[in-house]
Amino acid sequence: MGKVNIGLRGWRFDEDVLGEDGRVRPLATMEPEDRQRILVLADRVVDPCDACWLEYGDDKIAECNVAEVIYGEPGGEVVLCSAHEPDFLYWFREAGGSEYAGDLELQDAFHQWIVDGHRAPEGYEGLEHVDEDPTSLPDAPDRSEAIPGFEEEIAEMDESDLEAIDVDLDDLDV
């Protein structure tokens, strides 16, 4: 089965997370871990890059680039613009970040590294963008198309469904 990015590069999903119309399937039909990642993604896809936000702060939010890529585990994820992605990759590979792989502490640890003023060395490329993955869908939908508002769906869920989702709904503007 092919893998797709939805909205942001980084996290990849089995393509059957998308329905035939190219949109994310109803949450109730998904595996719990996909559902959790989709909900975090829906929340973060509209955020500014974490590193931009740490640099500029809420006062100059307009200066921040939009998030383009997401790394880490749901709840400890980091979103980045293309300009800051090399900083994350450098931190992860060369500056001790890999010890946080799979760990929710990754987000705080990376943020602290940025706040402390560290960056990748000038010219650090990170990775050549290997977006030409043969297994990815050629026309994976863009972020606004693919990720519907989940407000209605969440409103219809009962308590046990909501508990199963296990994300902080306060973050989701529902």
Residue 51: CB minimum distance to Zn ion, A: 5
Binding segment for Zn ion (CB under 5 A), chosen from 4-12, 75-83, 149-157, 163-171, is: 75-83
Residue 66 sits in the site that holds Zn ion (CB under 5 A): no
Binding segment for Zn ion (CB under 5 A), chosen from 44-52, 98-106, 129-137, 149-157, is: 44-52
Q: Which of 24, 42, 51, 67 binds Zn ion (CB under 5 A)?
A: 51
Read off φ and ψ for residue 118, nearest 5 degrees.
-80, 150
Decide whether 66 or 154 has the Cβ nearer to Zn ion: 66
In terms of Cα–Cα distance, which of 50, 27, 64, 68 is closest to 169?
Answer: 27
Decide whether 37 or 84 has the Cβ nearer to Zn ion: 84
Decide whether 81 or 154 has the Cβ nearer to Zn ion: 81
Burial pattern 1-33, b for ≥16 Cβ within 10 A else e, equals eeebbbbbbbbbbeeebbeeeeebbebeebeee
Residue 154 sits in the site that holds Zn ion (CB under 5 A): no
Here the contacts of 155-162 (C-beta below 8 Å, separation 24 or greater) are 157/27, 157/28, 161/28
Q: Which of 12, 65, 75, 136 binds Zn ion (CB under 5 A)?
A: 65
- Per the CB < 8 A criterion, the answer to whether 8 and 143 are in contact is yes
For residue 67, what are its two tokens?
Answer: 């998030």
Type of residue at 1: M
Task: Give residues 78-97 in contact with Zn ion (rule: CB under 5 A).
Answer: 81, 84
Q: Which of 18, 38, 45, 52 binds Zn ion (CB under 5 A)?
A: 52
Decide whether 28 or 129 has the Cβ nearer to Zn ion: 129
For residue 104, what are its two tokens?
Answer: 């929710």
Decide whether 17 or 49 has the Cβ nearer to Zn ion: 49
* CB-side neighbour CA atoms (13 Å) of 66: 8
Point out which residues bind Zn ion (CB under 5 A): 49, 51-52, 65, 81, 84
